[in-house]
Every structure is written in C-alpha cells, then in structure tokens.
Amino acid sequence: MPNPALTPLKDNILAATFMMASMAAFTLNDTLMKMMAGSVPLYQLLFLRGVMTTSVVLIIAWRMGAIPIRVASRDAMLLLLRSLADTATAFFFLTALFNMPIANVTAIMQALPLTITLMAWAVLGEAVGWRRFTAIAVGLLGVMLIIRPGTSDFTIYSLYGVAAVACVTARDLITRKMSREVPTILIVLTNSAAVMIVFGILTFPADWQPMSVQAWGLTTGAAVFIIGAYLFSILVMRIGDISFVAPFRYTGLIWALVLGYLVFGDWPDAITLFGAVIVVGSGLFMLYRETQLARGVRRQ
C-alpha cells in the first residue's frame, strides 16, 4: 500500500477519481440489474453476467501475466473461501436490491468500514481504541434506523442487506490473510468464475427464461460496468493512499440516491436519510482516527 507521506498529490487525486469512477460503475451495474428484477430470474442473470465478466477478466489476467501462476496451498484455500464469500454476497445483495430501494440497500452497505474494523479486532486481534468503538456503535445505530426492525417499514429483505454486509466483511478479512504475492486480477478472476459456476449450477435445474433484446443489452451493460468497477478499484489500490481516497467511497451513496430517484422514482424517507448520515459520519470519523494513529506511529 502506498505511503501517504511519499504519495504525490497528483497520484492521490487520480486515485480519488478512480475511486469515484469505481463507485459510479458499481452503482450503474446495480441499477441495470435491478431494472430486470421480476423479468429474468436472479440465478440466470448472475450466471450470464458471470460468463461475460469471466471471459473478459480471463483475457486481461492472461495479458497481465497472472495466468498461469502458482500460488501456495494456503493462498489457494483462501482464494476459494473468498470466492464463496463473494458469491454469497452477490446473492444476498441482489436479492435485497431487487426488493428494496437502491439507496436503502446502498446505505446499509456503507456500514462496511465499521464492521470490518470490528471483526478485525474480534478475529484478527487488531487494536481498536474506545473512540473507534464508539464510532462503530453509533454507526450501527444508524443502520438500525435504516432497517427499523419491528416497524411496518421493516422487511425480510433488510436482513438480506445485513447478510451482504456480513459476507463482504468476511471476504475482506480473508483478503487480509492472503500473501501479497497473489495478483489482484487473479482474485477478481476467481471471484467472477465462482459466481458463474455456482449460479450456473443453480440455474439449469430450473426452466431457462427467454430474454428480450433489452434484457440482453442490460445484462451486457451490467457486465461492462462491473468489470470497470473492479479495474478502477485495482488502480486505486496501486497508486493512491487509502487514507486519502477512502472517503470518496461514499460517493456511491450519492449515485444510488440520484439513480434511484431518476430510474425508479424512489427517494428514502427522512429517518432513512438520517440513518445514512450517521453511518457515513461514523465511517469518516473512524477513518480520520485511523489516519491520526498511523501518523503517530510514523513519528515514533
């Protein structure tokens, strides 16, 4: 990871631009997938998108020299576990997305920095002070405002969104345990292939639904955007300082609000928006605190 003291400002600005492009691409992918909700089965959509993305990423990985490559047996097992976690994420997230406003699901996903820090403390033994624990607690209260269990606004699909957060948290913790020798593009390839294989197996016992030209176009567009999102994410990690670019991750919520309103006519109510502000604010505070601690360590 680049050192913030050595990363030129122009590189950080470029990395922030890639981060915003990545968030836009992810949200555009979500929007196109949601537009097909109810017309094409979820498993079929994920399989077809997986075929498209795996084919393109395979070519990119080959051109980058990531194939063929040998990885240690430990890393191979971690790649498998990470791919399964990512496959579960796709199922839970898109099930929630197909049944909830896109901004609501995206707001729940903004809790990721909080849950990753919490589980890194619980599972990996990473140090977390009381300030960050407080930020995590406040942020999770914000999530509760978004999903509102026990009220008429609560649905089972809110729990699917929470399950997606849990799966991404597990995926990212697994990633931390991998050695740095594993190419990022190889990780993307194995994830894409896992989604293709798993949902391909789940699709074929059911009746294959014919797709219109519009559905094929939307699926192709979703594949293009998800590939772009992954590639932009790789560029962010290669050239930018994470403490500088991480706040730009929250632009995904802005995209979700805008596209949710323009495409689906959805706009979150005041309580949901307030919960989202709390979640984002907690994440930004925790990022600020982590940056301060990192600077303190470097001065010693």
Average pLDDT along the chain: 86
- pTM for the complete prediction? 0.85
Element (H, E) at 61: helix 42-63
Q: Are 12 and 245 in contact (CB under 8 A)?
A: yes
How many residues comprise the chain?
A: 300
Beta-carbon contacts of 236 under 8 Å, excluding residues fewer than 6 positions away, are 15, 18, 19, 22, 245
Element (H, E) at 67: none
Q: Give the pLDDT confidence of 76-113 residue by residue, as tens digits.
A: 999 999 999 999 999 999 999 999 999 999 999 988 88
The residue with tokens 């519009």 is: 214
Beta-carbon contacts of 27 under 8 Å, excluding residues fewer than 6 positions away, are 102, 106, 252, 255, 256, 259
3-state SS, 121-142, equals HHHHCCCCCHHHHHHHHHHHHH
Q: Give the pLDDT confidence of 217-252 residue by residue, as tens digits.
A: 999 999 999 998 888 887 776 676 766 777 788 889
CA distance 34 to 298: 45
**So what's the pLDDT on residue 243?**
62
Q: What confidence category does residue 152 fall into, taking pLDDT thresholds of 50, 70 and 90? A: low
* C-alpha of 135 from chain center: 21
